[in-house]
Structure 1
Amino acid sequence: MEPEFQPYGLPHLTVISLTIVLPFVLAAIVWRTKSPRVEKVIIGVLSAVLVLNYVVYLIFIRSRGTAIWQHMLPMQLCDWGMVVVIVAMWTGNQRWFEVAYFWGIGGTLQAVLTPNLPFGFPDWRFISFFTSHCGIIIGVVFLMLTRRYRPYPMSIVRVFLWSEFYFVVTFVTDKLTDFNYGFLLHKPEAFSILSFLSDSWPLYTESHCFSSSDCMRRSRFTMWREEADLPKDE
């Protein structure tokens, strides 16, 4: 019998705690060693874990016949977020960080707090789900701590445009594959912020896009540094 996921049970709370603690531990290692090589190693490990976890997950679900290819496309927002945070870590580009920040804090964080996941620990799907989602958040916070990256007011506009591009591409994909990527067609089964939206379509999809934009705007204010201390935007 497969273990059932218990929201805010011990395994879930442990995962949330590790997501908070790990980026500070990794950043402390970088601060203590003051070694760019150590920082690159940490970035390499984080990137490898995210990529390998994704590949292994696809292999497992395909080998067990639990999904068809139409349901295995990298079209979830967290799939795109994984790519963006990896690129941001390796390139050190502020614009890539902005997208990773808002998609990670405004989007992926919701998946960690209210996961649409029926499987509990130690099921491999539980481990894979939280490895991918928590890994994105850890990468974003790690960049904020080690490189002092922060989003700017104009970041919201730029990321909004990228998000709208994602919504359009994903909505078309949903219609072609008859699958609910990005939860654009209907609400997830698990309770989340999307549960408060309308049940009717297309009002649900429109309000989904609006609420996602609002989450990005609100996540702008989670920073703990004053604007006067921020480096100038490039």
Structure 2
Amino acid sequence: MNFTNEPSFVIFSTAHIVAVIIGFVIIYILFLMRNKWGGIEPIEKFYALSLLIMELLYQTWMWKTERWDVSYSLPLELCSISLILTIVLLWTGSRHLYDFVFYAGIGGALQAIMTPDLELSFPHFRYFHFFYTHFGIILTACYFTWYKGYRPTFIGIVKTMILLNLILPIVFLVNWLFRGNYMFLRAKPTGGSLLDYLGPYPWYLLSLEFVAFLIFLLLWSIFRNSEMEKGGTK
């Protein structure tokens, strides 16, 4: 794709660091206010709509600028799938969706935020879309945990791992049919990522299963221990 005369994103640049700081400050504020407010359903619906509108605007922008292509524009990346389920979770409150959004959503979004596969930087719309939607996944998972009383469980890890492995064959097929690289199942991202430390293709795919399980286990342990410390539900 040609992004001539458009701001190029550089990892760990000022634009990157500022977005990360703002996002985590908002998460911290959400944490500090967790005992003051409960869940507010109208806000949940409004936030779900804002995430949906942001994604639709992104798809429209790609289509209008002739960037849309079936090989990379379908919502088949882990964070794209997590975003869709996040929107549905905000709208329905489904406890089944919460497990996936909490584990795969937070795990995938954190990795994406720290090492973005992003071409365009501030003040381009794509920059705002990327960080708004990725932090939106994390904020939603934390909101349902801190405000709605949902709790991550070890069974939730198992369910998430099973669902991910059920999704993979579908993504493999789409990649093969359209020469895509959804979920980086055919090659690593060129801009650098965690995958660079997990071995060559295709072995990094197996390593990623183990790493995903460890990340999910760490998330469960952190939130479980925090609940135990304040005498909450375990």
The TM-score, its normalising length taken from structure 2, stands at 0.86
Q: How many Å separate the matches in 1 of 2:176 and 2:229?
A: 43
CA contact (8 A) 2:71 2:181 kept: no
Give aligned pairs, total: 228
User: Where does residue 8 of structure 2 map in the other structure?
Assistant: 4
- The residue aligned with 2:25 is 21
* Distance change in 2, residues 1:226/1:56 (3 Å): same
The alpha-carbon distance between structure 1 residues 100 and 4, as it changes in their structure 2 partners (threshold 3 A), is same
2:193 corresponding residue in structure 1: 192
What are the Cα deviations for residues 15-59 of structure 1, in whole angstroms up to 9, with x where unaligned? 22232233454577786566x6xx122212221121111111111
1:226 aligned residue: 228
- Aligned residues of 1:185 and 1:205 also touching (Cα < 8 A): no
1:80-128 CA deviation, whole Å, 9 max, x = no partner?
1012222223333332211110012211110011111122111222111
Change (3 A) 1:74 1:41: same
Q: Where does 1:97-136 land on structure 2 (aligned, <5 Å)?
A: 97-136=98-137
Identical counterparts, % of pairs: 25
Q: What amino acid is the match of 1:167?
A: L
Kept in 1: contact 2:52–2:87 (CA 8 A)? no
1:48 & 1:92 partners in 2: Cα distance? 14
CA contact (8 A) 1:23 1:142 kept: no
Residue 144 of structure 2 corresponds to 143
1:47-196 equivalent positions in 2, closer than 5 A: 47-196=48-197
| Secondary structure class of the residue paired with 1:131 | helix
1:171–1:214 distance in 2 versus 1, CA, 3 Å: farther
Task: Give me the whole-angstrom Cα distance separating, in 2, the residues matched to 1:23 and 1:197.
Answer: 29
Alignment TM-score, normalising by the size of structure 1: 0.86
Of 19-28 and 63-72, more deviation after overlay is shown by: 19-28
How far, CA to CA, are the matches of 2:196 and 2:217 in structure 1?
Answer: 20
CA RMSD of aligned residues (A): 2.4
Divergent runs of 4+, >3 A:
23-34, 227-232
Distance 1:205 1:181 in 2: 13
User: Does the 8 Å CA contact 2:48/2:91 hold for their aligned counterparts?
Assistant: no
CA distance 1:30–1:205, shift in 2 (3 Å): closer
Quick one: which amino acid aligns to residue 88 of structure 2? V
C-alpha displacement of 1:230? 4.8
Cα displacement string for residues 111-163 of structure 1 (whole angstroms, at most 9, x for unaligned residues): 01111112211122211111211111111111111013221121111111111
